[in-house]
Amino acid sequence: MSKGLLVVFAGASGVGKGTIMKRLLAGNPNIRLSVSATTRAPREGEVNGREYYFVTREEFDDLLAKDGFLEHAEYVGNCYGTPKEPVFRMLDEGLDVFLEIELKGFLQVKKAYPECVSIFIVPPSFEELQARLHGRGTESEEVIAERLKTAREELEHRHLFDYVVVNDDADRAANEVLSIISDRKSIKE
């Protein structure tokens, strides 16, 4: 069996990656999403082990010291990391594994695994992103401002990704991601 694809799925906070990802996971049993560890507090509705493994700073540092992360980064005051073992296991099983991560993590993955496919999701406009972050109502004004600043910085690096997909409509964007994946798989085979 051939190995699965390692796909970096990045884009600003609030850009709608989660919605696109849900659509991808729903109809495609070969696609899996890596569950990251984070020191951030759970948002309402988030479940430990589903959206994230919610860990303490000590637990995070412990896994880091054991070389347990494929990549890790600090983002607006919290630590995030991709546990290594499940990702390699799923790739060996031939599954396509998506990492929903930010820019610094992507740069680490790109360096260590140049064969990864990287996709950057952008909003139709910056105003749209602002509106979505405010509309979500899960963060304070201060955190939103920090996240928007980070989003601007990340947008400036979009040329580093293999593909840029505009999230004008979640279904359309999900279909575009699927055709990217199937193109890359046909090149690999």
| Shortest CB 171 distance to ligand 5GP, Å | 21
Phi, psi of 29 (to 5 degrees): -65, -15
Q: Give backbone dihedrals phi and psi of 123, rounded to 5 degrees, phi first.
A: -75, 160
Tell me if 165 contacts ligand 5GP by CB under 6 A.
Answer: no
**Least distance between ligand 5GP and beta carbon 90 (Å):** 15
Residues in 102-141 at the binding interface with ligand 5GP, rule: CB under 6 A = 102, 104-105
Residue 176: CB partners within 8 Å, gap ≥ 6? 165
Q: Does 96 bind ligand 5GP (CB under 6 A)?
A: no
Measure the CA–CA gap between 2 and 68, rounded to whole angstroms.
25
The region of 20-28, 80-88, 89-97, 177-185 touching ligand 5GP under the rule CB under 6 A is 80-88
Contacts of 143 (CB under 8 A, 6+ apart): 76
Among 13, 39, 118, 167, binds ligand 5GP (CB under 6 A): 13
The verdict on 161 binding ligand 5GP (CB under 6 A) reads no
Contact 121, 15 (CB under 8 A): yes
Tell me how far apart the terminal alpha carbons of the chain are, to the nearest angstrom. 11
Q: Nearer to ligand 5GP by C-beta: 82 or 181?
A: 82
Query: How far apart, in whole angstroms, are the C-alpha atoms of residue 123 and residue 148?
Result: 12
**CB of 17 vs ligand 5GP, minimal distance in Å:** 6
SS3 36: strand
> Site for ligand 5GP (CB under 6 A): which residue of 7, 32, 82, 118?
82
Rule CB under 6 A: which residues touch ligand 5GP? 13, 36, 40, 71, 73, 75, 80-82, 100-102, 104-105
